[in-house]
């Protein structure tokens, strides 16, 4: 058997060196990604001037402003001037604070000269020195006293009195304002129950244990559940839904560790109604509870379009039920290339800049509040060429055949797999180009999870989903969540009230029409 030649050895070594270089590049790329996540900006908007620090002019060219015939990567001069003017404009106290804010005069100062000779002076308009102040909250028993009477002429007859009123929230000692504060402190202001318990003891000297607060919150969720179902009915009154999901840990007795569950977020793009659904998995069947499923005929009740990211479950359900169609998200496509833009800058940066051109047109349409018909015409005239060029840039990267495990390979795979759905979002003028609207609704939930880390049980996930649903819909319709909770708890004392009239959308509509009392007005 002949020994390998030196040429063969050199070829093997070259192949080995190539493999190690690619592995090193992938490792450095992963390290840079985590460094950016820890210490860098989370924005995915690409600023070409920042890259001069890394790539120099050879890659990106000079950062001089473009002329009338230059490229469109720099911000238009008119927009830049407007932004500078907006920054220079300072707001006064009248703009920062509402006019109905109460003023309390705590002291009036009179000069000593006036005190000595008041007959020599006449008073003119005073000057006020203002400081914002607050009154410390108080906690007290709200008492409904039921007066009892007995007959004077017949002492054997039992005393009479009116029956006790129904509890504001059955099974609790909470009045509406207290339970509303507890719920909004956690699900709106992200304050866990154990910190609320500590605050009650520190500020008011009362011991409200975390377990007690948990029980009260669960009782309120049970009480408000019919309103949550009414919001789900409002959600499905559309042909287009945005859907996204986010994980959250919960405790499962006997397992010894936290389990992973998921909140599925739904948004009606026409009305802005939002609905959260809690599930302990991420399977396709989790969508059936909201979209509706007929067991007898094995058919999905919702028919229409779903705008979503690239999670494979959405492709699976669209293949299983032909009445569904999918639209994609350009922001997710951009995110993948943003994570990979330092791997091959001469190819990836043009992709980011082209997406920037497309989004600049979208921003102008949002500022002008263009209706769908106008949006379609504007995209056809101003964005379609950029959109076609974006696909050509992605196809050029595909010819290089990057490693599938690298960030660039992952970005390319995502872009090619999702392109038809992203194009569907571009072609449908009713849709935004991304799912940022529903992702923004999830932000408050993620901030809360950073504070309370996990849920006490799987059932607590359903309660949290209801409260996040109510709070996000209050925000979407301009209602103050805490005042809204107080008013609907009071309204539910009437057993004949229809829960559909107490959803944030219904309350906001009634308020606009002046056909209902003020409920949770911001």
pLDDT per position as a tens digit, 337-358: 998 888 888 889 999 999 999 9
Calculate the dihedral angle through the C-alpha atoms of 195, 196, 199, 200, rounding to the nearest 10 degrees.
-140
Lowest mean pLDDT among 26-30, 50-54, 169-173, 514-518: 50-54
pLDDT per position as a tens digit, 187-237: 999 999 999 999 999 999 999 999 999 999 999 999 999 999 999 999 999
pLDDT of residue 255: 81
Span 395-400, average pLDDT: 92
Does the pLDDT of residue 32 top 80, yes or no?
Answer: no
Does the pLDDT of residue 29 top 80, yes or no?
Answer: no
Does the pLDDT of residue 100 top 80, yes or no?
Answer: no
Q: Taking a C-beta distance cutoff of 8 angstroms, is the pair 304, 238 a contact?
A: yes
Quick one: how far is CA 173 from the chain centroid?
Answer: 32
Span 35-56, average pLDDT: 58
Q: How many helices (H) and strands (E) does the chain have?
A: 20, 7
Span 116-145, average pLDDT: 90
Does the pLDDT of residue 65 top 60, yes or no?
Answer: no
Lowest mean pLDDT among 28-37, 121-130, 238-247, 261-270: 28-37
How many residues are present in the chain? Answer: 522
pLDDT of residue 21: 85
Q: Taking a C-beta distance cutoff of 8 angstroms, is the pair 234, 273 a contact?
A: yes
pLDDT of residue 147: 92
Tell which wins on pLDDT, 123 or 55.
123
| Highest mean pLDDT: which range of 60-69, 93-102, 413-422 | 413-422
Domain spans, the chain? 176-230+459-513, 329-434
Nearest residue to 42 via CA among 451, 407, 335, 444: 335
Does the pLDDT of residue 499 top 60, yes or no?
Answer: yes
Nearest residue to 247 via CA among 442, 37, 460: 442
Q: Model confidence at 3, in pLDDT bands (50, 70, 90)?
A: low
R_g of the chain, CA atoms, integer Å: 31
pLDDT of residue 64: 42
How far apart, in whole angstroms, are the C-alpha atoms of residue 12 and residue 19?
Answer: 11
Does the pLDDT of residue 74 top 80, yes or no?
Answer: no
Q: Model confidence at 53, in pLDDT bands (50, 70, 90)?
A: very low
Does the pLDDT of residue 18 top 80, yes or no?
Answer: yes
Q: Model confidence at 248, in pLDDT bands (50, 70, 90)?
A: very high
Does the pLDDT of residue 509 top 60, yes or no?
Answer: yes
Does the pLDDT of residue 414 top 60, yes or no?
Answer: yes
Q: Is the pTM of this model over 0.85?
A: no
Does the pLDDT of residue 412 top 80, yes or no?
Answer: yes
pLDDT of residue 62: 41
Does the pLDDT of residue 253 top 90, yes or no?
Answer: no
Q: Model confidence at 26, in pLDDT bands (50, 70, 90)?
A: confident
Span 295-319, average pLDDT: 93
How far apart, in whole angstroms, are the C-alpha atoms of residue 29 and residue 1?
Answer: 44
Percent of the chain whose pLDDT exceeds 90: 64
């Amino acid at each position: 058997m002949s020994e390998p030649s030196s040429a063969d050895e050199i070829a093997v070594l070259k192949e080995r060196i190539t493999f190690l270089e690619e592995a090193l590049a992938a490792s450095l790329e992963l390290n840079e990604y985590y460094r950016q996540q820890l210490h860098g900006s989370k924005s995915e908007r690409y600023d070409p001037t920042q890259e001069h620090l890394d790539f120099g002019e050879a890659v990106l060219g000079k950062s001089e402003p473009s002329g009338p015939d230059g490229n469109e990567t720099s911000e238009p001069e008119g927009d830049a001037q407007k932004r500078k003017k907006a920054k220079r404009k300072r707001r006064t106290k009248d703009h920062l604070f509402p006019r109905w804010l109460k003023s309390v005069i705590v002291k009036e100062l009179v000069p000593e000269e006036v005190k000595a000779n008041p007959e020599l002076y006449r008073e003119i308009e005073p000057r006020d020195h203002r400081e914002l102040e607050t009154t410390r909250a108080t906690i007290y028993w709200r008492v409904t006293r039921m007066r009892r009477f007995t007959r004077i002429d017949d002492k054997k007859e039992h005393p009479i009195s009116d029956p006790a009123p129904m509890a504001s929230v059955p099974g609790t000692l909470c009045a509406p304002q207290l339970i509303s504060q507890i719920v909004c402190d956690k699900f709106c202001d992200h304050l866990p129950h154990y910190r609320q318990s500590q605050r009650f003891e520190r500020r008011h000297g009362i011991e409200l244990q975390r377990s007690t607060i948990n029980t009260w919150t669960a009782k309120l969720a049970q009480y408000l559940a019919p309103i949550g179902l009414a919001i789900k009915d409002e959600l499905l009154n559309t042909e287009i839904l945005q859907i996204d999901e986010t994980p959250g840990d919960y405790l499962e007795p006997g397992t010894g560790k936290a389990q992973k569950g998921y909140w599925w977020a739904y948004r009606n793009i026409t009305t802005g109604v939002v609905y959260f659904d809690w599930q302990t998995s991420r399977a396709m069947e989790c969508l059936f509870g909201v979209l509706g499923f007929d067991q007898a005929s094995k058919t999905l009740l919702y028919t229409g379009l779903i705008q979503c990211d690239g999670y494979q479950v959405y492709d699976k359900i669209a293949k299983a039920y032909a009445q569904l169609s999918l639209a994609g998200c350009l922001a997710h496509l951009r995110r993948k290339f943003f994570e990979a833009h330092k791997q091959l800058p001469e190819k990836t940066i043009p992709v980011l800049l082209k997406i920037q051109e497309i989004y600049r047109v979208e921003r102008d349409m949002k500022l002008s509040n263009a209706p769908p018909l106008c949006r379609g015409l504007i995209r056809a005239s101003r964005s379609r060429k950029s959109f076609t060029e974006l696909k050509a840039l992605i196809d050029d990267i595909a010819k290089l055949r990057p490693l599938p495990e690298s960030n660039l390979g992952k970005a390319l795979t995502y872009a090619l797999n999702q392109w038809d759905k992203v194009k569907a979002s571009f072609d449908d003028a009713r849709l935004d180009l991304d799912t940022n609207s529903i992702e923004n609704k999830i932000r408050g939930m993620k901030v809360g999870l950073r504070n309370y880390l996990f849920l006490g049980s799987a059932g607590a996930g359903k309660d949290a989903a209801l409260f996040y649903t109510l709070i996000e819909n209050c925000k979407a319709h301009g209602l103050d969540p805490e005042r809204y909770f107080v008013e609907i708890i009071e309204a539910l004392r009437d057993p004949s009230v229809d829960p559909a009239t107490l959803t944030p959308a219904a309350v906001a509509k009634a308020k606009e029409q002046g056909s209902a009392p003020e409920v949770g007005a911001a």
